[in-house]
């Protein structure tokens, strides 16, 4: 449940870097995604073809503040996005490091507090730090989006133990793994860990076959969530026979 909206498909798909508008259109449809992210900069340069895709997709639009490096820049971008897209949802990015694109936790919390007070439903792109997560919730966020790895790196879940700890620490907060996912198996692993959704872009947009890859990600996310809900068996240190000894014939 994301700010009162219950999603059937837990894959959130980005809309940048696709080879053509038609490929983007087909990739969104193949993925089954119900939420697509759009940067204000991308919308501003995409023209009518891009805006038509957004309308035709039937997806919920999650504008983002991609490329912002300060509180004021992020807040202003969010305000413009709300006016343009007509939604209170905003994926909040405040980048603090040019090479890793790691969020600036101090600016992120400050911007989240301002936007939440203005009535925004904030989806903050953050690290897997528990204290930062708590501060974001105190600021008014009801969703957290920890990174799996740096944006566009394809490294997957680089710190699995930290993500598992975050899931256990915030049992009632929707958590979305955002950034760094490079393969459907990585997305499935996040869902098997109990995360509520996965957001990705580059792994689909830059694939040899973006449409086929988006379909694969949609299936992986669904399978991972189904496996989590069904109850994945715990790992064991020793082998355990699947056929019980009791009742076997004695041949000696």
Q: Which residues form the catalytic set?
A: 91
Alpha helical stretches, state H, the chain? 21-31, 40-57, 71-85, 105-117, 130-138, 160-169, 184-192, 202-205, 210-230
116 is in an annotated binding site: no
Q: Is the dihedral of CA 213, 215, 219, 222 positive or negative?
A: positive
What does the alpha-carbon distance between residue 58 and residue 128 come to, in Å, rounded to a whole number?
31
Kindly state the tokens that stand for 59.
């997806």
152 is in an annotated binding site: yes
247 is in an annotated binding site: no
133 is in an annotated binding site: no
H or E segment at 91? strand 89-92
Please state whether beta strands 176-178 and 89-92 pair in parallel, antiparallel, or not at all (unpaired).
unpaired
159 is in an annotated binding site: no
Task: Return the exposure string of 209-228: e unless at least 16 CB atoms fall within 10 Å of the residue's CB, then b.
Answer: ebbebbbbbbbbbbebbeeb
- Binding residue ranges for 1-deoxy-D-xylulose 5-phosphate: 152, 179-180, 201-202
- Binding residue ranges: 152, 179-180, 201-202
């Amino acid at each position: 449940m994301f700010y009162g909206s219950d999603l059937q498909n837990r894959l959130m798909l980005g809309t940048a870097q696709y080879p053509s508008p038609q490929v983007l259109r087909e990739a969104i449809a193949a993925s089954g995604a119900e939420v697509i992210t759009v940067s204000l900069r991308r919308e501003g340069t995409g023209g009518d073809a891009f805006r038509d895709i957004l309308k035709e997709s039937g997806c919920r639009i999650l504008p983002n503040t991609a490329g912002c490096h300060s509180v004021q820049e992020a807040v202003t971008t969010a305000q413009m996005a709300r006016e343009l897209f007509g939604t209170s949802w905003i994926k909040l990015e405040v980048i603090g490091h040019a090479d890793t694109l790691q969020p600036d936790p101090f600016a992120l919390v400050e911007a989240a507090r301002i936007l939440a007070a203005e009535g925004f439903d904030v989806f903050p792109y953050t690290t897997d730090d528990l204290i930062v997560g708590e501060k974001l919730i105190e600021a008014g966020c009801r969703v957290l989006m920890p990174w799996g790895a740096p944006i566009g790196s394809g490294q997957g879940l680089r710190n699995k133990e930290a993500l598992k700890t975050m899931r256990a620490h915030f049992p009632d907060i929707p958590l979305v793994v955002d950034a760094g996912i490079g393969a459907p198996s990585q997305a499935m692993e996040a869902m098997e860990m109990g995360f509520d959704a996965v957001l990705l872009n580059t792994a689909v947009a830059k694939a040899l076959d973006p449409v086929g890859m988006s379909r694969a990600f949609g299936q992986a996310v669904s399978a991972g969530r189904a496996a989590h809900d069904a109850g994945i068996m715990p790992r064991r240190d020793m082998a355990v026979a699947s056929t019980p000894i009791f009742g076997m014939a004695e041949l000696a």
